[in-house]
Amino acid sequence: MTDTKPKDNFVREIIDGDLAVGKNQGRVHTRFPPEPNGYLHIGHAKSICLNFGLAADYKGKCNLRFDDTNPETEEPDYVRSIKEDVRWLGFDWEDREFYASDYFGRLYDYAVDLIRKGDAYVCDLTAEQVTEYRGTLTGPGKESPGRGRGVEENLDLFARMRAGEFPDGAKTLRARIDMADPNLLMRDPVLYRVRRAHHYRTGDAWCIYPTYDWAHGQSDSIEGVTHSICTLEFEVHRPLYDWFLVRLGIHRPRQIEFARLSLSHTVLSKRKLLTLVKEGFVDGWDDPRMPTISAFRRRGYTPASIRRFCDEIGVAKANSIVDEALLEHGLREELNKTAPRAMAVLRPLKVVLTNYPEGSAEELDCVNNPEDPGRGTRKVPFSRVLYIERDDFMEDPPKKFFRLSPGKEVRLRYAYFMTCTGVVKDPATGEIVEVHCTYDPATRGGDAPDGRSPKATLHWVSAGHAIPAEVRLYDTLFTKRDPNELEEGADWKSNLNPKSLETIAGARLEPSLAAAEPGSRWQFERLGYFCADIGLSRPGAPVFLRTVTLRDTWARIQKSGRENE
RNA sequence: UGGGGCGUCGCCAAGCGGUAAGGCAGCGGACUUUGGAUCCGCUAUUCGGGGGUUCGAAUCCUCCCGCCCCAGCCA
C-alpha cells in the first residue's frame, strides 16, 4: 500500500539487480520482524512502510514475524499492540503471522546439524569469561576450553542442556568460527543460552533459548524471505548471518541494511521510551506526546500522513535526524482537505456588543470546509455577549498586530464587523476582563455593502450558547532537536520539555462540537487541528487534543521580534 | 587503536564521468471572510578537505579529517 509513486532508493536497486540476474525465481519476499518487548514507534513505521511497500510494488509478500527469542522482556500485550498498529497503518500480512518461537524446534535441529558438522560446541565459560575470552577491538580472543570437544560429546551435552540438566547460565552452545576474527561477532558467537524463563508463547517447554543471531537468519530462510531488510547496526552481523546459512546449506536471503529513522525533538529507542512510560514521565505508551504509532493515532494523526512521511524521508545509509516539520506538513495538507471546521475559543475574553439587542440571538451560516463546498454549512448561534481569544485583543498593540484593539474594527468570522469602543478592567489587578464593541448590522455574514474589509477575521463563540470543554495542547517532548546530545554529565531526561503538555480547562466551543465523535478530527478555525479524545471524552463533554497547529505567521513574527517593523 | 559503515543547501535526499533534481524549513510577493489554504518567485559556481587521472569528476584513484556501529548468554 503506497500513496505516492515509490521513490527510488538503494534497496530497490539491489532488488532490481537480483531480479535482473534471475535470483529467487523472480520472487520478492520481505518481512517486518518486531520483538514484542515494547510499542511500535515512528521508526518502526519506516521499516513497515519499506518492507510492506516493497512487497506490494514488486508483487511479492511481506510477513509479520515476531522475533520473540528473549522471554524475559516479551509480552502478549506488545504483540497485540504491534498487530493493531501495523493494521492501522494500512498493511496486511494476510495469513503470514509468524513467530520465531514457532521455529524453536527447527532451530534446535539446525543447531544439532551444525554440531554434527563440527561447527558448534558446548562451552562451559561463564558470561564474564566469555566476554574476557572474546578479546578486544585490537587484540584477538582466546579459545574456550570447550572448543576442542568432539561431536558426540557436544551432541550429548547440548541434548542435556535442553533437558534441563544444567543451571541457568552454566553452558552455552557456540559456533566454532575464529577467535581472532577482526569482526568480534565472528569470535565464536553464542547460539543458545540456558535460561529457565517462562515464554509467553511456548510456556516452559524450553529452558534454552536461541540468540538473535542464531534465530534471525534461519527464520528468514524458513519463511523463504528473499530480502532481509534491517537497520545499520546489524551490518556487522551480516557475515555471521551468511555464515550460518552457508554452513547449513539452506536458502540464503540477502540482508540489506538502511539507516534507522531519528526524529527531531524526540527519542526513538525502545529502552528510553520504556523508561518514560515506566517512570511516569508520560501517561503511557499512547500518551499523545510519545513518538509511538499508538500515540500518533490517539493524537489524531492519520495513517496516510505517516505513510506519506515514510515515503518522503527516503531510504539511505547515512544517519540523519528528520525534522518533525516534515511529518506535520503532510498531516496538515491532508487535514486541511478533510477536517470539518468549527469555532473554539481556548482562552476566552468576554466581548459585549453594546448595540446588539439584549436578550435576542440569531443563527448564522458557517461553512464546514472552504476546501470542500460539498460539506455544506451549519448554523452557529450569535448573541450580544461573545467570547473571543484573549490573544486576539491587545490594548496597546505593536505595529504589525492587526487584530482587535481600541478603536479598531475586525470581522467576526461568518458574522459581523465590530469595533472596539472600550475595555473593562479588574480594579484590583488591572487585568482586562471585558471588551466593549459595537457591531455593524449591515455586515451580517461578514461582508460590508461598502466593500470595506478589516485586516483581521476573528473566531468567536456566543457566551450563552457555547459549551465548556477541556482542551490539551502539546509541544515537543524534548526541548533539544537531538535529546541525545548531552552536556557534560547530563542525563537525556534533563532534555524533557516541562511544557510539553498544557491542559486548558476553560475552553468554550460552539454548540455543535458537543456531538463530536470520539476520534473525530476537526479544524478549530485559526488555531489548528484537534481530535476528540477517545479516552477522556464523555458523552456530550468531549475533550479535545491538539493534533497540530495551523501555520502561524503572526507567531513567527513575534518569535523573531519583527512585530514593530 | 582492529573491523564494518557514512559524509551533497538549515533538515532530509536525488545524482552512478558530461558539467548540482525534489521535498521540508526560510525569505519575498499575489490572493484571501482562517495572519490558514492557494499561487508565483528567491535560496549550493558547489558536493568533508588536499592531491591525482581525464577534454571533462559530486561521481574514478589516493592521502587526510569528521561522525556512527561492534568487546549482551539484548534485538
Residue-wise pLDDT for A257-280, tens only, equals: 999 999 999 999 999 999 999 999
Per the domain annotation, does A98 fall within a domain? Answer: yes
**How many domains is chain A built from?**
2
| Alpha helix positions (H), A58-142 | 76-89, 104-116, 127-133
pLDDT beyond 50 at A435: yes
Per the domain annotation, does A484 fall within a domain? Answer: no
The DSSP secondary-structure symbol of A446 reads S
Per the domain annotation, does A238 fall within a domain? Answer: yes
pLDDT of residue A1: 41
Are A369 and A240 members of one domain? no
Per the domain annotation, does A486 fall within a domain? Answer: no
Q: Is A192 helix (H, G, I), strand (E, B) or coil?
A: strand
**pLDDT range class, residue A488, cuts 50, 70, 90:** confident
What is the span of the domain harbouring residue A140?
A: 10-262
Nucleotides of B under 7 A from a protein CB: 1-8, 10-16, 22-27, 33-38, 67-75
Are A252 and A369 members of one domain? no
Query: Which percentage of chain A shows pLDDT scores above 90?
Result: 96
Distance A489 CA to B68 C1' (A): 21
* CATH assignment of the domain containing A400: 2.40.240.10
Task: Report, as an integer, the average pLDDT of A182-211.
Answer: 98
Q: Is A68 helix (H, G, I), strand (E, B) or coil?
A: coil
pLDDT of residue A416: 98
Residues 77-116 (A) near nucleic chain B, CB < 7 A: none
Are A210 and A97 members of one domain? yes
Angle at A484 between CA A482 and CA A487, to 5 degrees: 100
Look at phi and psi of residue A376 and say left if phi exceeds 0, alpha if psi is from -120 to 50, else beta.
left
CB atoms within 10 A of CB A517: 10
pLDDT of residue A2: 39
pLDDT of residue A279: 97
pLDDT of residue A4: 53
* CATH assignment of the domain containing A130: 3.40.50.620
Cα–Cα distance, A139 to A142 (Å, whole number): 10
- For the segment A451-487, what is each residue's pLDDT rounded down to a tens digit? 999 999 999 999 999 999 999 999 999 999 999 998 7
Identify the domain boundary among A262, A288, A305. Answer: A262
A193 is catalytic: no
Q: From residue A454, give the alpha-carbon distance in Å to each of A288, A403, A405, A436, A446.
A: 37, 9, 13, 18, 10
Q: Which of A35, A75, A153, A312 is catalytic?
A: A35
Per the domain annotation, does A328 fall within a domain? Answer: no
Cα–Cα distance, A204 to A195 (Å, whole number): 10
A270 is catalytic: yes
Are A248 and A350 members of one domain? no
- For the segment A278-320, what is each residue's pLDDT rounded down to a tens digit? 999 999 999 999 999 999 999 999 999 999 999 999 999 999 9
Identify the domain boundary among A415, A443, A466. Answer: A466
pLDDT of residue A489: 77
* Phi then psi dihedrals of residue A205, to 5 deg: -65, -30
**Is the model's pTM score more than 0.90?**
yes
Beta pairing, strands A528-532 & A521-524: antiparallel
Q: What is the CA radius of gyration of chain A?
A: 31
Distance A323 CA to B11 C1' (A): 6
Per the domain annotation, does A364 fall within a domain? Answer: yes
Beta pairing, strands A467-474 & A543-549: parallel
**Mean per-residue pLDDT over chain A, rounded:** 97
pLDDT of residue A541: 86
**pLDDT range class, residue A5, cuts 50, 70, 90:** low
A499 touches strand B (CB under 7 A): no
Q: What is the ipTM of this complex?
A: 0.97
- Name the nucleotide nearest A394; use CA and C1': B35
Distance A538 CA to B63 C1' (A): 69
Distance A262 CA to B11 C1' (A): 12
- For the segment A103-153, what is each residue's pLDDT rounded down to a tens digit? 999 999 999 999 999 999 999 999 999 999 999 999 999 999 999 999 999
A446 touches strand B (CB under 7 A): yes
Are A163 and A34 members of one domain? yes
**pLDDT range class, residue A539, cuts 50, 70, 90:** confident
Segment among A126-135, A153-162, A536-545, A550-559 with least mean pLDDT: A536-545
Distance A298 CA to B9 C1' (A): 36
Residues 278-297 (A) near nucleic chain B, CB < 7 A: none
A319 touches strand B (CB under 7 A): yes
Q: Is A367 helix (H, G, I), strand (E, B) or coil?
A: strand
Task: Report, as an integer, the average pLDDT of A493-499.
Answer: 97
Per the domain annotation, does A487 fall within a domain? Answer: no
Per the domain annotation, does A521 fall within a domain? Answer: no
The DSSP secondary-structure symbol of A74 reads -
Show Cβ contacts of residue A235 under 8 Å, excluding neighbours closer than 6 positions: A257
Cell of A488: 557534560
Cα–Cα distance, A287 to A277 (Å, whole number): 9
Residue nearest to nucleotide B73 (CA to C1'): A193
Are A245 and A368 members of one domain? no
Identify the domain boundary among A262, A286, A308. Answer: A262
A149 is catalytic: no
